Amino acid sequence: MKVKEIFYTIQGEGRNAGRPAVFCRFTGCNLWSGLEEDRATAQCSFCDTDFNGGDKYTEEELIDAIDTLWPKGHNNKFVVFTGGEPALQLTSRVIYFLQKRGFEVSMETNGTIPPPAGYYWRTVSPKAGNTLNVTSGSELKVVWPQDIDLSELEKMNFRHRYLQPMDGCPDSLRITLEEVMKRPAWKLSLQTHKILGVR
């Protein structure tokens, strides 16, 4: 597996916002190369993440690297797999053995690729113009505004639904607030890690 970075921080978004977490950011995505010259034609042109480069890990090395970052002697372990697109690389074996070590596992995916098997927190963040192949999970988080039919998403089996203002989009906070007020099935999610100035 190729990983851009692994670091200990605070989860900034969605249902688990404010919770300490080890973040594992995989290299690569199926919706954008990550290169600025390709942004205009990307299927996810508003991506705000650098997911290129990184180092190679075996499954065992990755599990150990994640476990090592958790504060010694403390429980409530939490790991977030993100990218890029983690469904391209994350395996059920990695999830299983991290859970055996006491971690609650979360994965943030664009929902276009079937995720690894297992019971874990699944956050799906659909991108306009792409087929959503993951239609159930723990959390649905839509970056807003996008040309997405929210009423169709409301029919899907997710426990929590969030709209999150698009980073770098003028007036996106106001637009998102107005949409949440019109659609009380949704909650507002902010990128609190950016507000706090943490990684």
Domain ranges of the chain: 2-196
Q: Which residue has the higher pLDDT, 40 or 147?
A: 147
The question of whether 97 is a catalytic residue gets the answer no
Question: For residue 49, is pLDDT > 90?
Answer: no
| pTM confidence score | 0.94
Tell me the pLDDT tens digit for each residue of 175-188.
999 999 999 999 99
| Catalytically annotated residue among 23, 78, 103, 158 | 23
The question of whether 24 is a catalytic residue gets the answer no
The three-class DSSP label of residue 148 is coil
| Catalytically annotated residue among 13, 85, 108, 139 | 108
Tally the residues of the chain. 199
**Tokens 């180092």 -> residue:** 55
CATH superfamily to which 2-196 belongs: Aldolase class I (3.20.20.70)
* Whether the Cβ atoms of residue 76 and residue 67 lie closer than 8 Å to each other: no
Using alpha carbons, select from 51, 31, 29, 30 the residue that is nearest to residue 42. Answer: 31
